C-alpha cells in the first residue's frame, strides 16, 4: 500500500488524475473502474482539462462504474449515470458504448447484479479501480456488515449514508433506500486500486481503515490485503493517522 500525503484537495485531484492518465497512456484500451460522489469531481475535472489540451485520448478506454441507486432513471440528475456524463463522459472522446453502469431501473436485483458481474468478467476485469471513502468506511455502497460481500449485489443503505447523501436531494425522503454496487470481492479483483480521500471529517475513518484491523465493520480495511493499492490523501484526512 502506497500513501501519498498531499497538501489539499486540489493537489489530491491532480495526483489522482496523474495516476489515471498514466494508466490510459500505458494501456489505451484499459478498463477503468470509476466512482462518484464529491471527492473525485476534481480528478475528473483535471482529466478533462488534459484531454482538452490534447494530452489524453479516451477513444479506446472502457469503463465500469462502482454503483448506482436503485429506482432512479438515468435522466434523474442524482443518478450516477447523469453524474458521470456531467463530469466526464460528455466532455471527453470516450465512446458511449464503452461506458457501463448498473441499471438502477431494473427491478430484478439478482438478474441485474449477475449481468453486471458477468460484464466485468467479460472485459477481462478492471485495470484500475478508483474509489472514494465513506464516513463509515464504506467503499462503493458496501456498508459495514458482519462479512465482506463478494460480488455485485443490491444493498440497503444505512441511515448514515442516507444522511450523507441527502444534501444532493430535496430532502432525506427523496434519497433512494437501495443501490446496486460492486461487491468487495469484485473490487479486490481489480489489478490496481486508487483511493482518494480529503478532509478532516474523514481522518478518523482513514486511521481505522488503513492503520487498524481488517474487519467488515470497516469495509475499506480489506484494501490492506490488496497487492497494488495507492491512496492519495490530503493532510487533513491523514491528521489522525500514524504516518
Q: Which residues are catalytic?
A: 67, 136, 138, 143
- Closest by CA position to 9, among listed 43, 44, 50: 43
What does the alpha-carbon distance between residue 143 and residue 181 come to, in Å, rounded to a whole number? 10
Q: Per-residue b/e over 54-70, b at no fewer than 16 CB within 10 Å?
A: eebebeebbbbbbbbbb
Round to whole Å and give the CA distance between 122 and 175: 32
Three cell numbers at 168? 444532493
Q: Cα-Cα-Cα-Cα dihedral of 183, 184, 190, 191, to 10°?
A: -170
Measure CA 63 to chain center.
Answer: 12
Amino acid at each position: 500500500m502506497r500513501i501519498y500525503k498531499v497538501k489539499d484537495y486540489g493537489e489530491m485531484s491532480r495526483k489522482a488524475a496523474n495516476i489515471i492518465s498514466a494508466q490510459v497512456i500505458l494501456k489505451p484500451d484499459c478498463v477503468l473502474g470509476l466512482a462518484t460522489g464529491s471527492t473525485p469531481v476534481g480528478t475528473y475535472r483535471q482529466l478533462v482539462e488534459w484531454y482538452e489540451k490534447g494530452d489524453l485520448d479516451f477513444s479506446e478506454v472502457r469503463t465500469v462504474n462502482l454503483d448506482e441507486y436503485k429506482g432512479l432513471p438515468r435522466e434523474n440528475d442524482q443518478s450516477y449515470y447523469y453524474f458521470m456524463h456531467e463530469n466526464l463522459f460528455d466532455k471527453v472522446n470516450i465512446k458511449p458504448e464503452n461506458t457501463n453502469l448498473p441499471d438502477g431501473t431494473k427491478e430484478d436485483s439478482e438478474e441485474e447484479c449477475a449481468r453486471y458481474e458477468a460484464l466485468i468478467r467479460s472485459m477481462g476485469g478492471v485495470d484500475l479501480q478508483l474509489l472514494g471513502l465513506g464516513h463509515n468506511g464504506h467503499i462503493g455502497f458496501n456498508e459495514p456488515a458482519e462479512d465482506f460481500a463478494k460480488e455485485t449485489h443490491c444493498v440497503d443503505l444505512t441511515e448514515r449514508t442516507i444522511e450523507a447523501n441527502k444534501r444532493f436531494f430535496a430532502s432525506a425522503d427523496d434519497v433512494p433506500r437501495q443501490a446496486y454496487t460492486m461487491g468487495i470481492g469484485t473490487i479486490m479483483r481489480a489489478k490496481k486500486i486508487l483511493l482518494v480521500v480529503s478532509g478532516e471529517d474523514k481522518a478518523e475513518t482513514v486511521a481505522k481503515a488503513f492503520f487498524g484491523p481488517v474487519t467488515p465493520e470497516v469495509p475499506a480495511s480489506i484494501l490492506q490485503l490488496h497487492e497494488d493499492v495507492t491512496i492519495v490523501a490530503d493532510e487533513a484526512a491523514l491528521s489522525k493517522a500514524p504516518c
